């Protein structure tokens, strides 16, 4: 029996959760500015949502958690957010009421990958999808949003890398060209890539084993096979980015790891100490076939997702002071059992006034209670001593100025509310 956490998972401890909450709050704040609403879909879906015939990426073919439930339904823990969102978009016919549906999501995903720093088997993504329309300005908006988000988090050394895979025809031509190009090198490639040549040559470009092979390094790029229309579309996306003064770099070899992309693809990278290959914080792109593959009309979409653990690691590595744990407003120090009841009623009253207040239940001596109060950064100590209590008073001490005053018990709440407002 194993009573450890599952390999590739982690716990968020009470001392760390404020970082997650702050990150989520930042996400919700910025998405509000962009007028994008949240969507929540289940963590488990029928396997067909992810295991579509066209999807031959490693992520879907090798890394999903698939299982049969007790009713023999084949289910999958979602490895990413997009497919589930599109499943719901189609099932709820959201296209019928809105020409363009823009949504965001935050939640856990599951991939059976080799765990390392910044890579887990259960990880959180924050993602955005804009579904229903194809327009270069919309592609640019998604990139601007991703860029803006990272900037607002306070991360520096961030790069937007962008490329175009072109429309279906461009993509098909490129695939054919890649196939012909790799054929003479077939025997030198890994077993998986030998199969990929016929089925899905694009995936050879992001093969972890063959990435340094000279043939992979010198392979033709999608840019060489863009149709006139696709080239014009991409140019317009870039012009929108220029108009908004977003800095980006064109990455001719960027194809992304999932198969549903066409036209614009992009990634957000950051130079972060000790990150190595996990320096990709997020990525996304346009998908024109996914909606129809999942049973919907012939509509396209574009979106992106960030790995939230990577964002937090990056913020830590860069020493970005983006979140603060909420300090205690008041800590009640109490000695005798009788006075503990006074403390109970006082705490309740303070909390009703929305003051962050706490006390000690372990019967520590004064020094121990004080230590605990200071560890929680309490702004005020309320010291319930026998002598003061006889007079209906308590001692209230400001921990910063060390000033102490005697305050009527009945006036403590008012006193603290006024002091804390200043």
> Is residue 89 involved in binding ligand HAM (CB under 6 A)?
no
**Distance, CA of 36 to CA of 126 (rounded, Å):** 13
- CB nearer to ligand HAM: give 10 or 322: 10
Nearer to ligand HAM, 283 or 296 (CB): 283
Residue 125 or 163: the one with the smaller Cβ distance to ligand HAM is 125
At 202, list the tokens.
Answer: 């694009």
Structural contact between residues 313 and 120, judged by C-beta atoms closer than 8 angstroms: no
Return the DSSP state at 362: S
What is the rounded CA–CA span in Å between residue 165 and residue 231?
10
Distances (CA, A) of 46 to 25, 74, 84: 31, 6, 10
| Minimal distance, residue 256 CB to ligand HAM, in Å | 6
Beta carbon nearer to ligand HAM, 100 or 243: 100
CB of 348 to ligand HAM, least distance (A): 42
Q: What residues from 279 to 318 belong to the interface with ligand HAM (CB under 6 A)?
A: 280-285, 303-307, 309-310
For residue 282, how many other CB atoms are within 10 A of its CB? 23
Tokens of 279: 């320096």
Query: Looking at 64, 82, 264, 279, which residue binds ligand HAM (CB under 6 A)?
Result: 82
Report, in Å, the least distance between residue 276 CB and ligand HAM. 13
Q: How far is CA 204 from CA 167, 242, 265, 314, in A?
A: 20, 32, 17, 29
Q: Kindly state the tokens that stand for 264.
A: 């614009």
Q: Which helix (H) or strand (E) holds 105?
A: strand 101-110
CA atoms within 13 A on the CB side of 361: 3
Neighbours of 188 (CB within 10 A): 14
Residues 147-206 touching ligand HAM, rule: CB under 6 A, are: none
Q: How would you classify the pairing of strands 44-46 and 74-77?
A: antiparallel
Check residue 69 and report its DSSP letter: -
**Please, what is the minimum distance in Å from the beta carbon of residue 420 to ligand HAM?**
40
80 binds ligand HAM (CB under 6 A): yes
Report the Cα 403 to chain-centroid distance in Å.
44
Calpha distance 224→235 (Å, rounded): 14
* 6 vs 228 by CB, closer to ligand HAM: 6
Selected range binding ligand HAM among 78-86, 149-157, 183-191, 331-339, rule: CB under 6 A: 78-86
Nearest alpha carbon to residue 313 among 6, 19, 17: 19
CB of residue 123 to ligand HAM, shortest distance in Å? 3
3-class secondary structure for 113-146? Answer: CCCECCECCEEEEEEEEEECCCCHHHHHHHHHHH
Nearest approach in angstroms of CB 91 to ligand HAM is 18
Shortest separation between residue 155's beta carbon and ligand HAM, angstroms: 13
Distance, in Å, from the CA atom of 10 to the CA atom of 262, rounded to the nearest integer, reads 34
* CB 349 to ligand HAM: min, Å: 45
Instruction: State which of residues 257, 293, 385, 419 lies at the interface with ligand HAM (CB under 6 A).
Output: 257
> Least distance in Å: CB of 331 to ligand HAM?
38
Q: For residues 268 and 245, what is the distance between their CA atoms, to the nearest angstrom? A: 16
Complex with ligand HAM: residue 62 or 73, whichever CB lies closer: 62
Chain Cα centroid distance, residue 371: 36
Q: Minimum distance between the CB of residue 83 and ligand HAM, rounded to whole angstroms?
A: 8
Toward ligand HAM, which CB reaches closer, 311 or 416? 311
- CA dist., res. 310 & res. 280, Å (int): 8
Angle at which helix 168-182 crosses helix 191-199, to 10 degrees, equals 140
Q: How many residues bind ligand HAM (CB under 6 A)?
A: 26
CB of 139 to ligand HAM, least distance (A): 11
Q: x/- string (CB under 6 A) for ligand HAM, residues 389-418?
A: ------------------------------
Question: Taking CB positions, which residue lies at the least distance from ligand HAM?
Answer: 307
Binding marks (x or -) toward ligand HAM, 113..152, rule CB under 6 A? x-----xx--x-x-x-x-----------------------
Q: Is 58 in the site for ligand HAM (CB under 6 A)?
A: no
Residues making contact with ligand HAM (CB under 6 A): 80-82, 111, 113, 119-120, 123, 125, 127, 129, 257-258, 280-285, 303-307, 309-310
């Amino acid at each position: 029996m194993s009573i450890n956490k599952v390999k590739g998972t982690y716990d968020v401890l009470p001392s760390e959760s404020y970082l997650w909450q702050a990150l989520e709050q930042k996400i919700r704040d910025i998405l509000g500015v962009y007028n994008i609403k949240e969507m929540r879909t289940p963590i488990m879906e029928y396997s067909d949502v992810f295991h579509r015939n066209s999807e031959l990426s490693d992520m879907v073919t090798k890394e999903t958690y698939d299982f049969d439930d007790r009713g023999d339904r084949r289910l999958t823990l979602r490895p990413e957010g997009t497919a589930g969102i599109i499943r719901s978009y189609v099932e709820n016919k959201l296209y019928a009421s809105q020409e363009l549906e823009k949504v965001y999501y935050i939640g856990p995903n599951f991939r059976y990958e080799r765990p390392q720093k910044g890579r887990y088997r259960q990880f959180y993504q924050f993602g955005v999808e804009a579904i229903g329309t194809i327009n270069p300005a919309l592609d640019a908006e998604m990139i601007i949003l991703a860029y803006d988000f990272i900037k607002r988090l306070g991360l520096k050394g961030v790069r937007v890398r962008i490329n175009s895979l072109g429309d279906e025809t461009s993509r098909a031509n490129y695939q054919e060209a890649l196939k012909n190009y790799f054929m003479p090198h077939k025997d030198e490639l890994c077993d998986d890539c030998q199969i990929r040549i016929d089925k899905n040559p694009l995936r050879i470009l992001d093969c972890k084993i063959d990435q340094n092979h000279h043939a992979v390094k010198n392979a033709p790029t999608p840019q060489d096979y863009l149709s006139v229309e696709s080239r014009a579309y991409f140019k317009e996306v870039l012009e929108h980015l220029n108009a908004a003064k977003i800095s980006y770099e064109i990455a001719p070899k960027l194809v992304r790891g999932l198969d549903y992309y066409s036209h614009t693809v992009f990634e957000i990278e950051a130079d972060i100490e000790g990150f190595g290959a996990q320096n990709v914080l997020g990525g996304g792109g346009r998908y024109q076939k996914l909606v129809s593959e999942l049973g919907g009309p012939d509509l396209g979409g574009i979106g992106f997702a960030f790995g939230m653990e990577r964002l937090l690691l990056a913020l830590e590595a860069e020493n970005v002071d983006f979140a603060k744990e909420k300090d205690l407003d008041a800590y009640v120090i109490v000695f005798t059992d009788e006075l503990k009841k006074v403390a109970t009623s006082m705490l309740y009253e303070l909390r009703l006034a929305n003051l962050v207040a706490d006390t000690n239940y372990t019967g520590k001596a004064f020094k121990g209670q004080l230590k605990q109060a200071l560890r929680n950064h309490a702004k005020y100590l309320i010291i319930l001593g026998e002598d003061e209590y006889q007079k209906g008073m308590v001692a209230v001490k400001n921990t910063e100025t060390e000033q102490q005053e005697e305050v009527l018990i009945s006036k403590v709440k008012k006193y603290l509310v006024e002091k804390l407002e200043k």
